[in-house]
Structure 1
Amino acid sequence: LTLEQGQKAAYNCMLNLLANLHAKTGDLNKIKRFVKVLAFVNSADDFTMQPQVVNGGSNLLKEIFGEEIGVPARTAIAANTLPGGIACEIEMLVELK
């Protein structure tokens, strides 16, 4: 994939996480802050732009929730393979009000 396609995959992954949060909480306004994002990026051995891939999802949080709530600590890790050949996998820790 290109960097842009990876960013789109991270964006879609983050949308899925937000949909799940909404389903569980009933209201995304219950989010006090995003604490931590852990992302695994399916990468070739010579690919080193995992943080830029994850920006596709992280920037969405910042856009929707602003810097105070939507900018968590972040880790972007390269993986030589992910389940089903997916481009990225993201896990997040959220503090609720």
Structure 2
Amino acid sequence: MSDWKANLAELGIELPPVTKPVAVYVPAVRSGSFVYTSGQLPMIDGKLQFSGKVGADVSPDDAKAAAQTCALNALAAVHDAVGLDAVVRIVKVVGFVASAEGFTGQPQVINGASEFLGSVFGDAGVHSRSAVGVSELPLGAPVEVELIAEVR
């Protein structure tokens, strides 16, 4: 069993099937030694885990959990494209947080994705990152995460 599999198992998490796109795009694209994922929403079994704006409808803790789900869905997209055994490191994460007026905790919300990726890949999961507050996200999602992975 590879490290990522063992680490997911230790977390009690299974890699889900790739989330179906909600518009015209593909979940992930390989270009050279990188895989770029499309933005992933906090979908579980085809349904949003949470909806609404963080700081009003969704608590920061629930949004952090949603960011982890987004990162898990991004890993599913990478796995479908090249297999997670090919991942050398997670290079970049971009997280978007649908934010209520005055909410400034976007970095802490996106920590849900970053901490999760570190738990799965160890040092290879440590990445550069942006955490951006936005007024709305697709389907009313509170969080969206995309990533770039370096692969063999």
Both proteins in one fold, TM over 0.5? yes
Does residue 1:53 correspond to 2:109, yes or no?
A: yes
- Higher RCO, Cα 8 Å, sep 6+: 1
Q: Which residue of 2 aligns with 1:73?
A: 128
**TM-aligned CA deviation for residue 29 of structure 1:** 1.8
The TM-score with structure 2 as length reference comes to 0.61
Task: Output aligned runs, 1:1-97, within 5 Å.
Answer: 1-25=58-82, 27-67=83-123, 69-97=124-152
Give the aligned CA root-mean-square deviation in angstroms: 0.8
Q: CA deviation at 1:80?
A: 0.7
TM-score of the pair, normalised by structure 1: 0.94
Give the whole-Å Cα distance in 2 for the aligned partners of 1:29 and 1:59. Answer: 20
Provide the secondary structure at the position in 1 that maps to 2:136: coil
Runs of 4+ in 1 over 3 A off after TM superposition: none
Q: Distance in 2 between matches of 1:65 and 1:80?
A: 32
Unpaired runs of 5+ residues, structure 1, are: none
Q: Give distance in 2, aligned partners of 1:2 and 1:91.
A: 21
Number of residue equivalences: 95
Identity %: 41
* Distance in 1 between residues matched to 2:130 and 2:101, nearest whole Å: 18
| Letter paired with 1:46 | G
Q: Per-residue CA shift, 1:24-77, capped at 9, x if unaligned?
A: 11x31210111111111010120000010001111111001002x101100000
Greater Rg by CA: 2
SS in structure 1 at match of 2:102:
coil
Task: Name the CA distance, whole Å, in 1 between partners of 2:60 and 2:143.
Answer: 12
Per-residue deviation, 1:93: 1.0
